[in-house]
Amino acid sequence: MDDRIIRTEYSEEMQKAYIDYAMSVIIARALPDVRDGLKPVQRRTLYDMYELGIRYDRPYRKSARIVGDTMGKYHPHGDSSIYEALVVMSQDFKKGLPLIDGHGNFGNIEGDTAAAMRYTEARLQRVTQEAFLGDLDKDVVDFIPNFDETEKEPSVLPVKIPNLLVNGSEGIAVGMATSIPPHNLTEVLDGAKAYLLNENITTKELMRYVKGPDFPTGGIVINKDELLDIYETGTGKIKLRGKVEFEKTKGGKTNVVITEIPYTMIGANISKFLMDVAALSETKKTQDIVDISNQSSKEGIRIVIELRKDADPENFVNMLYKKTRLEDTFGVNMLAIADGRPETMGLKQIIKANVDFQFQVATRKYTNLLAKELEKKEIQEGLIKACNVIDLIIEILRGSKDRAMAKACLVEGKIDGIKFRSKESKIMAAQLAFSEKQANAILEMRLYKLIGLEIEALINEHEETMANIYRYEDILDKRDSMAQVIINELEDIKKAYGKKRKTVIENGQEAVYREKELEEMEVVFLMDRFGYAKTIDIATYERNKEAADAENKYIFTCKNTGRVCLFTNTGQLHTIKVLDLPFGKFRDKGIPIDNVSNFSSEKEGLVFITSQSELNLCQVIFVTAQSMMKIVNGGEFDVAKRTVAATKLGEGDRVVSIVSLREQRNIVLQSKEGYFLRFPIEEIPEKKKGAIGVRGMKLGEKDSIENVYYTQNAVEAVIDYKNKKIVLNNLKPAKRDGKGTKIRV
């Protein structure tokens, strides 16, 4: 038993296990190979379809069949990852060169997901079959055992194009991520040809061909001058904008029509964009919007924003660039697996890696083709030689007892046991020296091959074989010849599948948005007992004063450009921009203050609410349940943050009362046990908001402050305490920090 126990440091074992896991995710799951530009799941899916014979010119097969076969043979990591990879490889709005021809609902640009795999069908695209899988039968790449060593799978596909650039890639591994934008096939192939012709070409020179990313969604790249640095280092940020057009309507209004979106807006971000535009109108950031409609279809994107007649369309579009994802950034990190390890590469490095791979594939391909042609040459020469002495061959065959005797005569000239018609034939037979392969071909040759035309065809075929041998040897011996073969293949692919660029690349000007200056005005803040708040103009309030006072708990005036301050029993101060509150009709419901601030009605209670401008002009008295109190200058609460601590509280304490200090002269503290203490406000010291304050009243062990009252000189203040009327002005004046007088009822 002891022999099977491995004694090791736990931390070392964990570290080793985590590193193994991380490398497995990096190498075998999340990152693409620089040679074929494919992640393992993509490579395995395409190879499985190739093995199943689901070619471009054959019927579609159920996606579930493909996914199940791939998972069972090559990728044992769940069907969802395989189907997702299959779906993405078929989406022309995500891939510059779709590799799979999908039939059925494979999702759309607006974020609708593909139908379940049991409903959709798929087959290979023609370009995938020709440029990705075409040479697999020529032993040009290594095959490795699958996960259970019952099958063989290619370690890399013999892709003839720099697919990593053409289709890009996105993936998150452990501690690293890749984000490579798609590029135009024609430009990438031109760049690869330029490198083949001049290995010392610079990145700047390569960018004469590969001008920048070409997103399937089009759009505009507006930082052209920064692309060189991005392509040299392999990292950076590409700034994208959607394409916008202006359409005049019959009524003289202008429609802003978005015809192309940034690549980063694909999916749910389109609906998010529409919501953001609507929010601009709802929050009064702009009042130019009349209507928004998404008229997109299979033909393309068309988002129409109808503007008011007097709106400035250019300024409005600049606002969209500033405040929505109509202008966005694409983070570039060209990370891929090169020589078995992750590496961040620039444009030239990626093209170089792919071209080097093309030379490796071509070398193996033409080495194998040359071997086959040399074998054909040997056999053809044997058959031609045999045709010249066909009478002798026939005599040997007729005189031999078995195949072995005839073959020995053809290969080694052994004539023992063979019956010849003449001595001359015997002498000639002894001189024969065919090779093993030639002898087998002669013995298997059919009689019709002796027809004159067949012999002539054999001679022509031999001449063709010799031409192929010369060509293959030339390709293998001379780098320029092999480079030209690769260039010719690239030209054929470019001619068959090349398309025009969709994305415009330019140095766009910074979007300058001129916000209309908001006219400052006094408004009335209203909030009911349920926490719904709104603002109305003063004239509306005056007309509905009686109803407003009856229906609302908090009412005060403030500036529409100002802020509202909410003090809670937990000692927090939350601020709300008045502009974030709905402004309009008196009967409008309003909005919960929880929605426009960090205040949570479930976790804290509202103690005091006022405007920032009013707070700045006064002092504030704080009283807590444990009888701690202080006066704070209201200007201390003029802060930029949405939430700050308004006061310091002891353990288990809470704020009971906060009021602004005006004409009050005395304060009356009432405890839960019925003690009342009245003393002058002058005895409360002024402190900073971060101070805990001083004790206002001596409390019993289980007692706490329940209510706080204020009185003015010569103004009678009466309260109802347990059905008993108490005149606060008649309470005996005392000093702060006294026990107070108990009121008996």
Instruction: Tell me the catalytic residues.
Output: 119
Residues linked to residue 623 through DSSP beta bridges, in sequence order: 629, 657
Q: Residues 673, 701: contact at Cβ < 8 Å?
A: no
Strands 220-221 and 504-505: parallel
Geometric angle at alpha carbon 214, from 500 and 198, rounded to 5°: 85
Instruction: State which H helix or E strand residue 187 sits in.
Output: helix 185-197
Q: Two tokens at 733?
A: 């004046």
CA distances (Å), 474 to each of 194, 196, 374, 487, 490, in order? Answer: 22, 17, 14, 16, 20
CB atoms within 10 A of CB 398: 12
Strands 220-221 and 243-248: unpaired
Q: Two tokens at 419?
A: 């019956």
Number of residues that this document lists for the chain: 745
Q: CA-CA distance, 358 to 730, in Å (whole number)?
A: 101
How would you class 194 by CB atoms within 10 Å of its CB: exposed for 0-12, middle for 13-18, buried for 19 or more? middle
Strands 554-559 and 522-527: antiparallel
Q: CA-CA distance, 321 to 326, in Å (whole number)?
A: 5
Residue 36 neighbours by CB under 8 Å, 6+ apart:
43, 132, 156, 157, 158, 159, 163, 164, 357
Q: CA-CA distance, 646 to 153, in Å (whole number)?
A: 66
Cα-flanking dihedrals φ and ψ of residue 311, to 5°? -75, 155
Q: Where would I find the beta strands (DSSP E) of 3-151? A: 61-62, 100-103, 121-124, 143-145
Radius of gyration of the chain (CA): 43
Q: Residues 530, 589: contact at Cβ < 8 Å?
A: no
Q: Two tokens at 158?
A: 């013999």
CB atoms within 10 A of CB 499: 12
CA torsion through residues 528, 532, 536, 538, sign: positive
| Residue whose C-alpha is closest to residue 705's, from 596, 627, 591 | 627
**Position 131, amino acid:** A
Q: Two tokens at 243?
A: 């394409």
For 624, the 3-state DSSP assignment is strand
Residues linked to residue 741 through DSSP beta bridges, in sequence order: 676
Question: Which one-letter DSSP state was computed for residue 225?
Answer: G
Q: Within 13 Å, how many C-alpha atoms sit on residue 229's CB side?
A: 7
What string of H, E and C letters represents the secondary structure of 98-132?
CCEEEECCCCCCCCCCCCCCCCCEEEECHHHHHHH
